Each structure stands twice: as C-alpha cells, then as structure tokens.
Amino acid sequence: MELLYKSTRSDHAKVTASQAILKGLAEDGGLYLPEKIPTLNCSMEALSKMTYQEVAYEVMKLYLTDFTEEELKQCINSAYDEKFDTKEIVPIRKVNQTYYLELFHGATIAFKDMALSILPHLMTVSAKKNQVKNEIVILTATSGDTGKAALAGFADVEGTKIIVFYPKGGVSPIQEKQMVTQKGKNTYVVGIHGNFDDAQNGVKEIFGNQKLKEQMNQAGFQFSSANSINIGRLVPQIVYYVYSYAKLLAEGEIENGETIHVVVPTGNFGNILAAFFAKEMGVPIARLLCASNENKVLYDFFSTGSYNKNREFILTSSPSMDILISSNLERLIYKIAREDAKANQELMLSLKENGIYTITEEMKTQLKDFYGNYATEEETEKTIQQLYEKTGYVIDTHTAVAAAVYKKYQEETKDQKKTLVVSTASPYKFTRSVMNSIDKKYSNMEDFELVDELSRISHTAVPKAIEEIRNANVVHDRVCNANQMTEMVQEILGI
C-alpha cells in the first residue's frame, strides 16, 4: 500500500515519498510527514540476524513505498559501502555499563553521514521517477557537520549543484577546513557573517521566494534541501535506532522486548525525532533523553511547554548544537496537536513573529516519554576528562553533552535501565576542545599536532577524513552578510 506525505501546515494535496524528497520543504513552508508512522513488519529476532544494509531495507521500504525493491536496495548499497571504516557501519561501544552508538564512521566522521550518504541516491532516483528535467540545486545551511557531509555526498553527482552556507567563525577549525577544501565542480561553500539560525532563516526565505523560483525554472534549475527538514534525511536516521536495538539483542546485552533509554545530543531535533519514530514503529524504547548545551531552548521547552528563542545565542564547544530554532520540532508539535495543521501553523507563525509559542496542557501530556536537560561548558569538559581518565575512551564535545545529561537523569531518577548514548561525532572533529578538556597542557599545540596526540593517547588511528585535509588547499573563499544570501545564490547560478 502506498504511503503518502502531507504538510504540517495545511491539508493540501498529499505527495509521494519521491516528491517529498525532491521538494524538501512543502509549498506552504511546512515539513512533510507520512500520513501514518508504519509499524515494523519484521520481528526483532529476525532483524538481529541482519546486516546494517538489510535492516535499512526493512525500515525504509515501509516509508519509501514508491521506490521499487531494486531501486531502494541500490541506493542503500551505494551509500553504506567502503566509505565507512567499519563493516558494521555503526558499532556500539560498551563503556562503564553504558552503550555508546558510534555514528561517526562515515566519510566525514559525523552522524550526518548516515543520512547524507544515501540522500543523493534517493534524490537522483526521485528525479527520474518524476521526469525532472531541471538541474537540482541543493541549498543547505549548516552548523558544522551537515555541510561537509552533504558536500561529500553530492560532489560531482550528475544533475545537481550544492550550495552550503555556514556561520563564519561559528564552526570548529576542522569543520571549516573540511568544507572549504571540498573538491567537486558542482560544490559551492559560503561563510556568512552571522550564526546558524541566520543561515537557516536565509535558506528558508530563499525557498519561499517565488520570484527567484521562477527565475530558476527559466534558467533550468530547481531547489531542494539536504537539511534535516528533508524527509529523505529523517527516514535513513530511523534505521540506526532499529539496528542498534537488534544488535544489542544479538549480542545478548538485552532480552527481547526489554526497553532501553536513548540519549541524543540535539540542536535541530532531527536525530531525536528519528528515535521517536523508531519507538512509534515498535522499537522498545522507554524514554527519549534530549540533551542540550548552553543554548538550552529545548530543555526550557520540555520543562515549561513554552518554546522561546528570544535569548542570547551562545557559541559553545559543541557548535553543531548552537541552534535556537529547532526546525524538526515542528514535526513533533504537529503530532501532539493531533495532526491539526491549523493549530500547528498558528504556533509556527507565533514563533516567526514573536519568537515564542506555548503548547496546551493536553499537548504537554503527550511528551511524557521525553526528558530534557542540558550541560554547561564546564560539565561538558569534565565529562570528557573523567571518562578518559577512568576508561581511556575519548568522546567528542556533543557526545559529552549527552553523557553529562544522562548522568543528571540517573542522579535525579535513580533509574538504572540500560541506556544507549548517541555518539554523533568523532573526537577528531573537535580535537582542540577535546584535548583541552583532557589536559590544559595541550592548549599551545597546533591543530594537527593535537590530532596526532589524540591518536597516541586514545590508541586509535587518525581517520582518513582528517588525513585528507591535513595538506589540502582551500578552494572555497566566498563570504557574505546574512541579508546577501539570495544575491550570492543568483551569482553562483549566473541568473
């Protein structure tokens, strides 16, 4: 049976999965959601015997119903191949009775690879299905990781161009170097004077610019998005939650049907939303722990029921979470509003006009499985240092935020249920912050000296992604103000 997709902001005509992937954002500015969340039709016992690629097919076929078996399997096998440095794709490390789900073994050493390795394949198949003749222009704002993962995924993919905007000075030195050294004749990287929210808002405005859309169409282009607002990003992320539960079962770490908690460091809310979808599909997840850094807008939302972006924007050591507008939260709001598009639209309008919205008490009761908390910069540092000193295991700053929040949860609740901490990036991506947390003596070292020292103390090989940029030349040096993003797109496309 075909599963169709609808917008969170209106009851307009529904679209197929491939159309939703191509559009990225609905015409009314809403996000696409499936009409219903499908239930897994394969037992955990059966899934526990499968490879990552096989589990991916069992999950994704339920969402992408207009893809043939051959098309979907080809997308999956093209994405999850030797680009990953481990056959498992997502290994689970057990450290001190806590399970760390390592999502950073892909080409750019961050969890964004999990979805952005497959999105270009899903998109090119979708374009063929829908007889798209225009060149697809992928337009993306990044807080650090999405940009490089999207650039790597779309580099030299026929029929596409990719333009990435990032906050200049608002990402780690390694993240920036990964982006500005990206090769590919169809890749463009632009630093903006502003923060991630400025970049994200600019991209949304460009998507909503009808005059520009017409200009683009006349010139043979059309926009799509590689941000986590694209349903083609969300669906592949559900896979690793299903796979990780099945893997814990296969390894005898849990009993079949035993519930676990999941802790996710999150800024834009996409990664934890994927865990929520996995839970709704039937994965035995008990609580979803939403971990924020000092930009704790999500913690305040779960505590009060009010989402308020009117606050100081703080640059932290976990820059991928330095976000005040969590775009994917809209999908959850729509669900807890009983899929009332009008009610959701009013809340989103309030956010746009006043920077704040408040959900009803009835909506709040539906968030009982979520727990929100945050970690200060000091707590993040301490978590990295203590885990390394006790176990020798080194985690990045974002994972440390999650680990610190999990510790707070345990102290508050005395809950000892088995827990999966989502490790979203390699410590090599944030070497300066990680090494300074371990010992201040490292503060005077150069970036790549720190890389080699991290390798020595953690007994791990320097990832290929880091070795590649060690001596790479900068090929992208465009910079603009946040209010010049439309003009920059026009200049790049020559329209």
> Which are the contacts of 139, defined by CB distance < 8 A and separation ≥ 6?
163, 203, 206, 207, 223, 224, 225, 489
The two structure tokens encoding residue 75: 């997308």
Distance CA(391)–CA(414), nearest Å, equals: 22
Distance CA(401)–CA(188), nearest Å, equals: 31
H and E: helices and strands count for the chain: 22, 15
Could you tell me if 159 and 445 are in contact, meaning their C-beta atoms sit under 8 angstroms apart? no
Quick one: which of 226, 231, 250 has its CA closest to 52?
250
Residue 219: exposure state from Cβ atoms within 10 A (0-12, 13-18, ≥19): middle
Residue of 23, 112, 204, 279 marked catalytic: 112
Could you tell me if 357 and 306 are in contact, meaning their C-beta atoms sit under 8 angstroms apart? yes
Going by the DSSP 8-state scheme, the letter that residue 110 receives in this structure is B
Catalytic residue at 14? no
Residue ranges of the alpha helices (H) in 251-359?
Answer: 270-281, 297-304, 329-336, 341-354
Report CA-CA distances (Å) from 487 to 202, 226, 246, 479, 482.
Answer: 11, 20, 48, 12, 10
Distance CA(56)–CA(84), nearest Å, equals: 15
The two structure tokens encoding residue 389: 């000193």
Residues composing the chain: 495
The two structure tokens encoding residue 48: 């526990």
Phi/psi of residue 187, nearest 5 degrees: -105, 140
H or E stretch covering 454: helix 447-458
Catalytic residues: 112
